[in-house]
Amino acid sequence: MQVRRQPITQAIAWMRQAINLGARNPRAIFGAALLMMGVLYLSVMLLLLPVSATLSAGSDINAVLPWMVPAYVVLFLLFPVLLGGLMHVIREAESGREAKASGLFAPFRQGRAGQLALLGFVQLLLAILSTALVVGLAGGEYWTNYLAALRSAAGGVMPETMPTPDNPGLMTLVQMVFNYFSFALTLFGVPLILFSKLPVTEALRAALRATLVNFPANFLAGAMFFGGSLLLGAFAVVFVLIAVWIGGLLHPAFGSLLGFIILIIVGMVLLVVLTGAAYFAWRDTFGEQDDVSPPARGPGGTIGIEV
C-alpha cells in the first residue's frame, strides 16, 4: 500500500483538525469516548473482582498478581477494537453522515473485531519484549533492590538511597523507541484494518513504513499531544482541587463528584484528540478520502471549536 510522504508541518494540521472535531457531532463523538472509557473500566473491574476478594481476605500482594494478568491481557485485546469504534464514529461525523455513540461497537458488527484484537495481541508481545529488554539492561540486582526499597517505603521506613540501574540512558532510549513504534503501529494499524480492510500482517507492514517515512511529522504530532496532555493535566489538577474545595463546602461527597467529573471530561478530550489526530494522519498518509460536507459554521462564518 502506497505511503504518502508528509511534511513535518502536517502534524500541526492533524492536531488542529482533531481539536476541531467537536464542531461536527459532539454528542456522538464525545459520547462514544465516554462509552469507551466506561467499557474499559467495567471490563477491568469485573476481571479484578477476585483480586479485591483476595486482598480483603488478607492475602499477600504476591498472591494476587496472577489474577491481574487476565485483566492486563484483555485490556490489550479490547483497546484497539474500541479505538477502531471511536475512529468509526469520528469518520462518520466527519463525512457528514449520521453518527451515534453506539457506533463504538461498529467493529463487532462489521466483523473486524477479531483482526483488531489480533493487533492488540501483537502489541502485547511487543510490550513483553520491551519489558524483557529493559529488565536486562537494568541489571540483575536492580529490580530486586528496587522492590525491596518500595516495600520498605510502604512500611514507613524510607531507604537512604534508591537503587540505580546499570544503563539508565540506554533504558530510556529503548523505552522511547518502543513507545514510538508501539503507538504508531496501533494508531495506523487500526484504521488500516477497519477502513482499508487490510489483514493484520499487511496493516503492520504498511504502518511500519508510515512510521519510518513520516517520522518527523509523526514524532512532532506525538510530542505536541504529549506536551498538551501535560499542560491540560496540570490545569485539570488545579480545577479539581478548586472543585473539591468548593463542592466540599456543601458536602465532601459533592466535592469529590465534581472533581471526578472534571477528570472524566479531561479523559474524553484527550481520547478524542488522540484518536482524531490518528484518523487524519491515516487519511493523509494513505490517500484515503471521505465524502466530507463543509464544516458547520457559526455566526460570521467562523468554524466553532466545541472541545
pLDDT digits (tens, 9 = 90+) for 208-254: 999 999 999 999 999 999 999 999 999 999 999 999 999 888 888 99
Q: What is the pLDDT of residue 132?
A: 84
Instruction: Give the separation between CA 97 and CA 84, rounded to whole angstroms.
Output: 17
Q: How many domains does the structure of the chain reveal?
A: 1
In tens, the pLDDT along 22-38 reads 777 889 999 999 999 99
pLDDT at 59: 55
In a domain, 290, yes or no: yes
Residue 100's pLDDT is what? 92
Residue 5 in any domain: the answer is: no
The amino acid that residue 303 corresponds to is I
Q: Is residue 307 part of a domain?
A: no
Tell me, yes or no, whether 305 lies in a domain.
Answer: no
User: Is 139 a member of any domain?
Assistant: yes
- The residue type at 136: G
Cα–Cα separations (whole angstroms), residue 49 to 53, 64, 76, 78 = 6, 11, 19, 18
What are the tens digits of pLDDT across the range 51-69?
Answer: 666 655 555 555 566 677 8
**296 pLDDT above the threshold of 80:** no
Closest CA to 74 of 114, 112, 47: 47
Q: How confident is the model at residue 135 (pLDDT cuts 50, 70, 90)?
A: confident
Is residue 1 domain-resident?
Answer: no
**Does residue 217 contact residue 7 with C-beta atoms inside 8 Å?**
yes
Task: Provide the grid cell at 305.
Answer: 471549536
Question: When comparing pLDDT for 12 and 60, which is higher?
Answer: 12
User: Is residue 74, in this structure, part of any structural domain at all?
Assistant: yes
Q: 168-194 vs 61-94: helix axis angle to the nearest 10?
A: 50
Contact 256, 244 (CB under 8 A): yes
**Full residue range of the structural domain in which residue 206 is found:** 10-300
Q: Is residue 51 part of a domain?
A: yes
